[in-house]
Amino acid sequence: MKILSLMAASLLIPAVLFGQESNPLLAPWKGPYGGVPPFEKVEVKHFMPAFEVAIPNALKEIDAIANNPKPATFSNTIEAMELAGQQYDRVVRVYYVWTSNLNSPEVEAIQTKISVMLSEYDDKVKQNSALFKRIEAVYEGKEYATLNSEQKRLVWNYHNNFVLSGAKLNPEQKKQISEINQELTTLYTKFGNNQLADEAKKHVLISSEADLAGLPADLKEGYAQAAKDAGKTGWLINNTRSAVEPFLSAADNRELRKQVWQMFINRGDNGDENDNNKIISQIVALRQRKAKVMGYATHAHLRLADKMAKTPERAMQLMEQVWKPAVKMVSEEVDLMTEVAKKRGENITIEPWDYRYYMEKVRQDKYNVNSEALKPYFQMDLLREGMFMVAGKLFDLGFKPAKDVPVFHPDVKVWEVYNLTTNKHVGLWYFDPYARAGKNSGAWMTDYRAQHKLGKGSTTLVSNNSNFIKGKPGEAVLVSMDDANTLFHEFGHALHGLCSDVTYPSVSGTNTPTDFVEFPSQLLEDWLLTPEVLNKYVLHYQTKQPIDAATITRIQSMGTFNQGFSTVEALSGALVDMKLHLSLAPSIDADEFERTTLQELGMPKEMVMRHRMPQFGHVFSSDQYSAGYYSYLWADVLTSDCFEAFLEGDGPYDKAVAKKLKTYIFAAGNTRDQAEAYKLFRGRDASPEALMRKRGFAPKKDFKKKK
């Protein structure tokens, strides 16, 4: 069972009031492909009753394992845990689809209560002393030596997860941890809802077309459609990254750029009912208390105990190694922008709302590459087909439209995934590309069902979700090259799930540490600009012609262009995140901490963190990436070194390298230590030098193809 969370039995309504027949969430999934989520039958009113049945049912299964009178074995304890709580798991997975994609006042009304229920469940399971004794008995017993490598890893995972959740604490300490967890869960929900509210309620409405100077036609149409959807006249810039960043890159009106930029970077930081600063302070204090009860120096030390980096010091060492050359490159980029502005007769000092705009002018001036001129070549639907091609060449996966699969919104489309060689069914890929009210901003991957071979087994159901602006019906949806990169990134996560080939669900697919899980996704970005993709899937939406060879050469020559900005933008957030969770200050003022820390780091004044603290959902809407935003940089060490393995061979589609990549990385899930897995793939540890070369902080390496 993939352990997620729970509530006290005393709060439950009797299960007989809500039979499986009347609540679609409680019944096993039916239909094709081994069963699929019954999205078309689900309503918000079903969630609370479903949890009120599924939670006690799961607890009964857990208690039966914990109180088994027979001696603990791998089969009657660990495998039994893997098979327990399936009904609960199904309910949770569908619930998170609603909170992420279909949030509404009705969903918000039940979120806090359900979040506490899930937290209580998690504590009840992981603080179950009898259960932990059985897990520990398997971990320390003679049978352990006879298990295969995946089984040993599974046992280690269970033991480690329970220990890091407080299984070895005394009853009073366990009570403290449970209370802290419930408080944190409530705050996480409030933080996320505040951010969503700021994104939904705040916007910039433009009434004069003259103020749209510089914007391409498709972008103006998207903003016009957004206004129409909101019942307004004019052009509406929603408070989301997908709407804001294209505007900042193209709009000539500097005052409007400033207005839009300020709206976006101040999400959760407006001193109103949706302000997140106090919540951050409360979260940090609770995390400090929890770490102390657990016996760790700081929250950062607790969070990294089971990650690849192992300690905050190792993560900080990598970040500091990259920080100084990245800041130096930003200074060089700003000099180029200032020079271009002067050429245009604009005697200005580059401000944060200018960076993306003049970055584009430099791109045009230095490389003769116009992002907006390239955009007609990047069609979302065709890029999707390009991703399918890459998946076929690297991992032998094919995609075809799936039939009779319910979806949670009409925009969602579904593909069946199969093995190209054997034609065997592999799983389903759901694609939800467009922004809508109640949907989290950004892009992400979710798995609805993990692959495993236990019992009857199951195939993978995964989803990619984006926030592209939906244009007029029947028109091609054009995206920027950066957005195309993000498409490939999230599809890398999906492939990580789809390639999974393991026995046990809790070590399947993307169930790996955060500083490893970003490796497969960031890696796939490197295939976007391969000739095989560019020549067939990056075609002008009107002429159907590929980008001309000279332009492709110029694009490829831009390999390290703007790496200063992109590195500092993300790395500043990672450093602030880590320093915040290493701090032992009794009270944190979020705004002041962010400002002071960035000053001490020497943050360039021309830019801000990619996610300022009041909107840093990775860190404050859950615990998943707290003291862990460094993971993207850590994973890129693996990514950079891995792609060089292809370049040292026959290129990006080298079959031998791809086979090893699938075997040891994409198919292996969490069945072995990640450092060991990478060494099996590469024959050695990853080299940070490859990252420095990739980002332009060290000289490039000449890769000569084999003859």
- Asked whether the beta carbons of 361 and 340 are under 8 A apart, the reply is yes
Q: Is the pTM of this model over 0.75?
A: yes
CATH topology assigned to domain 277-369+562-629: Neurolysin; domain 3 (1.10.1370)
In the structure, how many helices (H) and strands (E) does the chain have?
Answer: 27, 7
Coil, helix or strand at residue 75:
helix
- Does residue 653 or residue 369 have the better pLDDT? 653
* Section 62-91 average pLDDT: 98
Percent over 90 (pLDDT), the chain: 90
In degrees and rounded to multiples of 5, residue 660 shows phi and psi of: -65, -40
**pLDDT for the residue numbered 6:** 28
**Token digits for 355?**
């960076």
Q: Does residue 584 have a pLDDT over 50?
A: yes
* Section 146-172 average pLDDT: 97
Averaged confidence pLDDT in the chain? 94
Q: Does residue 1 have a pLDDT over 70?
A: no
- Asked whether the beta carbons of 650 and 311 are under 8 A apart, the reply is no
| CATH number for the domain running over 9-168 | 1.10.1370.40
**pLDDT for the residue numbered 473:** 84
* Section 545-554 average pLDDT: 92
> How far from the centroid of its chain's Cα atoms is residue 435's Cα?
17
Q: Helices 86-101 and 47-66: crossing angle, nearest 10°?
A: 140
How many whole angstroms separate alpha carbon 347 and alpha carbon 321?
35
Give the residues across from 284 on adjacent strands: none
Q: Does residue 12 have a pLDDT over 80?
A: no
Q: Does residue 15 have a pLDDT over 70?
A: no
Identity at 286, one-letter amino acid code: L
Q: CA-CA-CA-CA torsion for 429, 433, 439, 442, nearest 10 degrees?
A: 100
pLDDT classification of 472: cutoffs 50, 70, 90: confident
Q: Does residue 17 have a pLDDT over 80?
A: no
Nearest to 568 by CA among 536, 599, 607: 607
- Pairing of the two strands 425-434 and 460-468: parallel
Describe the strand order of the beta sheet including 444-449 as a list of residue ranges.
397-401, 413-419, 425-434, 460-468, 444-449
Query: Which residues, including other chains, have CB under 8 Å from residue 501's CB and lie 6 or more apart?
Result: 451, 667, 668
Q: Does residue 3 have a pLDDT over 80?
A: no
Q: Does residue 16 have a pLDDT over 70?
A: no
Q: Do domains 9-168 and 277-369+562-629 have the same CATH topology?
A: yes
Lowest mean pLDDT among 392-401, 499-508, 543-552: 543-552
Tens of pLDDT, residue by residue over 513-524, are: 999 999 999 999
How many whole angstroms separate alpha carbon 35 and alpha carbon 93?
14
Coil, helix or strand at residue 31:
coil
CA distances to 550, 599, 602, 650, 674 from 578, in Å: 43, 16, 16, 39, 22
How many whole angstroms separate alpha carbon 229 and alpha carbon 436?
10
Q: Which residue has the tokens 């200063």?
A: 564
How many whole angstroms separate alpha carbon 394 and alpha carbon 398?
11
**pLDDT for the residue numbered 702:** 84
Q: Does residue 614 have a pLDDT over 50?
A: yes
**Token digits for 31?**
């239909």
Nearest to 231 by CA among 205, 253, 212, 257: 205
